[in-house]
Amino acid sequence: YFDGATDPYDREALWLSGMGQTDMYKFIGKVNAIRSQEKWWNYPAVERWCDDNFYAFSRNDVLVVLSNVDNASIERTITFSDYAPGTVLVNQLDEADTVTVGDDKSYTVVLPEGLPKIYKPAVNTATFLQE
């Protein structure tokens, strides 16, 4: 990709390398667009689940789910939730992927091969309990 070197030759332009066409570049662009649209910086992060392989947090009504497992599916039922029962959460990275909040305000998230997810309530079912 890059040759590297010492100053000033260690500042090769990314746009000449074709980096804008990679899957990772496109993924980061999509995540940044979601972040900007939701103005995450205006809300505190609230930890929803944490263990050795799985981490979930929310900012306002957006839920971010992450894992450090890359070769297996990982599933967790999140019980610490501000979503009202019946709320449908839509994965902003794949809108065909949804979960529904149960009567006890819990929901189960599956991360295939450890892929991250960013959930937001569906527009017509968006119900968020403010405490």
pLDDT digits (tens, 9 = 90+) for 4-20: 777 777 777 777 777 76
Cite the DSSP H helix spans in the chain.
23-38
Query: ∠59-85-101 over CA atoms, to 5°?
Result: 65
Partners of 75 in the beta sheet?
A: 110
Does the pTM surpass 0.85? The reply is no
User: Residues of CATH 2.60.40.1180 domain(s) within the chain?
Assistant: 44-125
pLDDT digits (tens, 9 = 90+) for 87-123: 999 999 999 999 999 999 999 999 999 899 999 999 8
CATH topology of domain 44-125: Immunoglobulin-like (2.60.40)
Tokens of 11: 């500042």
Query: Quick one: which of 83, 78, 91 has its CA closest to 118?
Result: 91
Query: How many Cβ atoms from other residues are within 10 Å of residue 73's Cβ?
Result: 12
